[in-house]
Amino acid sequence: MNASPVPRLLVVDDEPDLRTLYELTLLREGYEVETAGCVEDAWARLTERTYSAVITDMRLPDGSGLDLLHRLEEAARAEKAIVITAYGSAENAVEALKAGAFDYLTKPVDLRQFRTVVASALGRATVAPATSGSRPAVAAAGAVPSATSGSQPRGPRDVAVGPVFAEPGAPGPVHPALARLVGQSASMQQVRSMIERVARGMAPVMVLGESGTGKELVARAIHAVSGRATQPFIAVNCGAIPEQLLEAEFFGYRKGAFTGATEDREGFFQAANAGTLFLDEIGDLPLSMQSKLLRVIQERSVRPIGAVNEQPINVRIVSATHKDLGLEVQEGRFRQDLFYRLNVIQLRMPPLRERLEDLAAICATVLGRIAHDAGVSTAPQLSASALAQLGSYAFPGNVRELENLLHRAVTLAPGDVIERDDLGLGDDVASDSEWSAIEPPVADALAPQPVSGEAPLPADLVTYLDQVERDILVRALARHRFNRTAAGASLGLSLRQMRYRMARLGIGAPEHGGD
């Protein structure tokens, strides 16, 4: 069997001492190394041969590392690029990542970190995940760890489509992770194309989208298409962890660090080492935790509670939120520097109402998975009238709501064909823009009948408005089968706002109600 070829690296720096330092460090790791002192010298070498990776300083005598990145991009070169920037130049680092750099380092360069980043770019992870202690209790905190084989356990948030079924009529072979993102609309083709592009590097990705659009599926696809696919994928719901437990869950702790710490335990960052950490609902993190998260991202190391030394980590971060983080920054609820660190590459997942042309394909895929899970060979079908009714619905809960609706319809349908009445949406289904034209405003229904053409003023305005708000909330909850997330989304409210209003107005949740 032939031995694997030795990776050839190109180091670009105008300072001879630093060039020598980088070269000797890489030679000790067993790489073949060549050097250049400026952009033109580097490009001349690149035109003569190919390299596994290019490591370039940002400031060069005849240009910048960005110039070299742009040339690599324009020439469609396969080399991974690592950029070295001056300490504190966060803007340059972000610009380099947006220009296609795999990763960046800041001066003065930590040689251990230098070796780790180069190994990661070449698919040679040198930092093994910590083995002390047990894995964090991710299930209790909303995280779902993946097996190192790359197979992902199915959880309640994997709702867009099943992992087994490829989309009918999809043009050409598709990566299984991308096939889970069903739809041939222009917006979905753009999402899949963006995933393939961003998966090549280490740049943090921010996935934006409403609840239920499939943001976690996007994060899993980025991981699965990347060179980290065989490493852990750890998903964390930042809004589901009590504030007093955040630091322990994220960074781990040492035995005896606090009462109840009876053993060493690793956190989410250690569990995701060499892989991908997905921070869902990142906008729900309190400010105190945001500052600690920022330091970990900057230093690429974590210190467990009760530990003396920091542990280096090699983790790619993908985050997601349904909030407008730009507005959160303006109002002081989210750190601007952390926002810039996480929002290097932005990927928007469109709501279902914006891609209704994908509805038939999504329904077919979801129904196919429901049949597969039930061990049935023939999947149920939607009648034309049922599909037409779904097409007239606004889906405030997006694909998650659609899947729940189809699960219910399959249970209620007497045969293999789901009819309009089996959907349980009634005859008044319409888009949000049409809703006000179908039913009179709530205030009209609650107001006393006018005596002389003018409604009297309420005697107690606060009680009156509370009653109006309560009626609206109850109707929204009933319409969405007491799914508080979907009901809140239809009214422009977050789950937290919905819970607050329900508690204030004394609206109870039934035992079967969900979030």
The H-assigned helical ranges of 413-483 are 432-438, 442-446, 461-479
CATH classification of the domain holding 490: 1.10.10.60
Claim to verify: residue 414 and residue 455 sit in the same structural domain: no
pLDDT on residue 148: 32
Q: Does 204 fall in a domain?
A: yes
SS (H, E, C) 38-67: CHHHHHHHHHHCCCCEEEEECEECCEEHHH
Decide if 131 is inside a domain: no
Flag whether 428 is in a domain: yes
229 shares a domain with 327: yes
Provide the token pair at 132: 């002390």
Same domain, 356 and 445: no
| Residue-level pLDDT at 448 | 41
pTM value > 0.75: no
Q: Are residue 300 and residue 424 in the same domain, yes or no?
A: no
Residues 209, 344, single domain; the answer is: yes
Q: Same domain for 174 and 266?
A: yes
Give me the CATH number covering residue 105.
3.40.50.2300
Domain boundary among 397, 419, 439: 439
Q: Return the CATH number at 412.
A: 1.10.8.60
For residue 153, the model assigns a pLDDT of 33
State whether 92 and 161 are in the same domain: no
Domain with 74, as residue range(s), is 8-121
Q: Do 82 and 147 lie in a common domain?
A: no
H helices present in 207-301, as ranges: 215-225, 246-251, 268-271, 287-299
Domain count, the chain: 4
| pLDDT at residue number 267 | 94
Query: Same structural domain for residues 199 and 223?
Result: yes
Residue 52 domain-assigned? yes
Task: Give the residue ranges of the chain where pLDDT is below 70.
Answer: 1-4, 87-90, 124-173, 426-455, 509-515
Distance CA 473, CA 450 (A): 26
**Are 187 and 50 members of one domain?**
no
User: Which parts of 142-214 fold into alpha helices (H)?
Assistant: 176-179, 186-198
Listed residues 333, 350, 367: the one ending a domain: 350
What does the pLDDT look like over 311-361, one tens digit per residue? Answer: 988 899 999 999 989 899 999 999 998 998 898 889 999 999 999 999 999
Do residues 449 and 313 share a domain? no
